[in-house]
Amino acid sequence: MKRNLTKTSLLALAMAAAISLAACGASSQSAVATPAPTATPETSTAEEGMTEEMTPAETPAPDMELSAMVDSIYKVYPVELMMMQTTAIDLNDEAWLTYNTGLSAEQADLVASGVKSESMTGSQAYTLVLLRLKDAADAQTVADTMLEKMDPARWVCVMADKMRVATFDDKVLFVMTDSELTDIDALFAAVPDALGVEFTYDKSADVAADDAMVPSEEEMNNPVAG
């Protein structure tokens, strides 16, 4: 699967990394011991093959139905963190797909569309992922994979201490957070009324500090494009 990175996405990654690193020193929230930074997908060769014709319009727009669902959830249970944003999950970029969902390239074929909602800073451990699947029969498989494979220390300097995933219809809703920021159980309790649905599968997991997927020395030393 080929990566699909534009100049705009590279700039966004660089800005996000800079904001995250700057925020680490100012942030004091962390429910567990501060983990080693999680390696983000390597981007040093992403500029290869770029052309002047590439424009910001190529960045996928968030799925309107899924984005509206996220908005509806937040109307019933507000998540008030800094610089919150709902963005599309690019299913054609294997590295970032795995980083954002925990799914492999093969499992990406089960997904029709996806969005994530999180703070644009790296100092707040919270992410919500909502996926629409091609076949509702795969929902529990995808949900279990996300609960097992998502890295609770994917942020630069903070870590989630709880994860929860639920399925309804052909959708999979996953959230992981620092409990000091968000009551994950209250959020999930609000979803059925907010969306008019019933969960068909619901599972949660507490996270310990040693559950972080600490990157290898080689991954940590990967160069980052400037």
Query: What value does the mean pLDDT take over residues 79-90?
Result: 94
Residue 156 clears pLDDT 70, i.e. is over it: yes
Residue 89 clears pLDDT 50, i.e. is over it: yes
64-76 and 184-195 helices, crossing angle to 10°:
120
Q: 3-class DSSP state for residue 163?
A: strand
User: What b/e string do you get for 181-208 counting C-beta neighbours within 10 Å, with b at 16 or more?
Assistant: bbebeebbebbeebbebeeeeeeeeebe
Q: Which pLDDT score, from 0 to 100, does residue 123 have?
A: 81
Residue 37 clears pLDDT 70, i.e. is over it: no
Query: What value does the mean pLDDT take over residues 101-129?
Result: 93
Query: What value does the mean pLDDT take over residues 139-149?
Result: 97
Q: pLDDT tier at 57 (50, 70, 90 boundaries)? A: very low
Please tell me the total number of residues recorded for the chain in this structure.
226
Residues sharing a CB contact under 8 Å with residue 105, sequence separation 6 or more, in sequence order:
1, 94, 97, 98
Counting residues of the chain whose pLDDT is more than 90, the rounded percentage is 59
What value does the mean pLDDT of the chain take? 78
Q: pLDDT tier at 34 (50, 70, 90 boundaries)? A: very low
